[in-house]
Amino acid sequence: MNHNARTIMKPALTVAPDVNLAEAARTMDLHRISSLPVIDTAGALIGVITKTDLLHYALSRAGDFPGILVSEAMNPSVVTISPQEKINAMAALMEQQKIHHLFVVEDGRLLGVVSSLDLTRVLMDVCSMLGDVGRG
């Protein structure tokens, strides 16, 4: 099994910085995802908006929530990886950074996203291949 980011990543739904938080929340809810990479008009990855960000703004500025733009609430610090990144390195990076998503970028272009759930699926495949090793 030779997994890397390219083999397990999923296409990433994206959002523009000028979209309001209510629309971003609807997109996340509709697609059952917990983050959206923020892409500018040139297609550059400029941030990420997560359900945690949405919750923070909903609680702190509830009356103004629909008027807040993604650009105001997004985290501009995005952790990116190359398509060749190995599984163990991705898991270590997620644990170290305390994050659940890594964005796969090549030549400045967003290719996809790897979530902690994607890594869990690979682990389940490995465990399945090994069988009941360790069970007694």
Q: What is the pLDDT of residues 31-86, one digit of tens each?
A: 999 999 999 998 899 999 999 988 888 888 766 777 889 999 999 999 999 999 99
Q: Using CA atoms of 54, 49, 38, 92 in order, give the dihedral in degrees to the nearest 10.
A: -170
Q: What is the pLDDT, as a whole number, of residue 55?
A: 87
Q: Note down the domain range covering 81.
A: 5-130
Is residue 135 one of the residues assigned to a domain?
no
The CATH number covering residue 69 comes to: 3.10.580.10
Nearest to 81 by CA among 53, 118, 55, 50: 118
Q: What are phi and psi of 83, to 5 degrees?
A: -60, -20
Does 122 have pLDDT greater than 90? Answer: no
Is residue 136 one of the residues assigned to a domain?
no
Is residue 41 one of the residues assigned to a domain?
yes
Residue 36 · residue 24 · CB < 8 Å:
yes
Q: What is the pLDDT, as a whole number, of residue 129?
A: 74
Q: What is the pLDDT, as a whole number, of residue 60?
A: 80
User: How many structural domains comprise the chain?
Assistant: 1
